[in-house]
Amino acid sequence: GAGVSQSPRYKVAKRGQDVALRCDPISGHVSLFWYQQALGQGPEFLTYFQNEAQLDKSGLPSDRFFAERPEGSVSTLKIQRTQQEDSAVYLCASSGGDLREQYFGPGTRLTVT
């Protein structure tokens, strides 16, 4: 069956541009997570959805970051006015429940120039 997919896989943005990163979770998974992974580091939690409800957004680094999951399936992470420090791999993961294992997508590598 299909796993978690993310698009685009690679994104180069000029500083100041807005970007939108898409995540298609595994069908039926209620929980969806976004992480930011800097080079040589572990994933850092950004935000968490249960169905369409955003239950935790405490990891979003600034108000330039916004995530949505309007129909409880596909999710979009939007970054406004990108800065160089936003360069990282953005990972999406879904799971069938709160304490169940997460299934990760391949990530979107964002490079801000």
Partner 1 sequence: AQSVAQPEDQVNVAEGNPLTVKCTYSVSGNPYLFWYVQYPNRGLQFLLKYITGDNLVKGSYGFEAEFNKSQTSFHLKKPSALVSDSALYFCAVRDDKIIFGKGTRLHILP
Q: Does 54 bind partner 1 (CB under 8 A)?
A: no
Binding of residue 39 to partner 1 (CB under 8 A)? no
Exactly one of 22, 51, 83, 103 binds partner 1 (CB under 8 A); that residue is 103
Residue 70 beta carbon to partner 1: minimum distance, rounded to whole angstroms: 23
Map residue 84 onto helix, strand or coil: helix
Strand order through the sheet with 65-68: 5-7, 19-24, 75-79, 65-68
When binding is defined by CB under 8 A, the residue of 19, 23, 33, 67 that contacts partner 1 is: 33
Q: Measured over all CA atoms, what is the biggest interatomic distance in the chain, rounded to whole angstroms? A: 38
Q: Decide: is 2 part of the binding site for partner 1 (CB under 8 A).
A: no
Smaller CB separation from partner 1, 90 or 112:
90
Using the rule CB under 8 A, which residue among 15, 18, 41, 97 binds partner 1?
A: 41
Cβ neighbour number for residue 88 with a 10 Å cutoff: 20
CB proximity list for 90: less than 8 A, separation 6 or greater: 6, 21, 34, 35, 36, 37, 46, 77, 107, 108, 110
Q: Site residues (CB under 8 A) for partner 1? A: 3-4, 33, 35, 40-45, 48, 56, 58-59, 91, 93, 99, 101-107
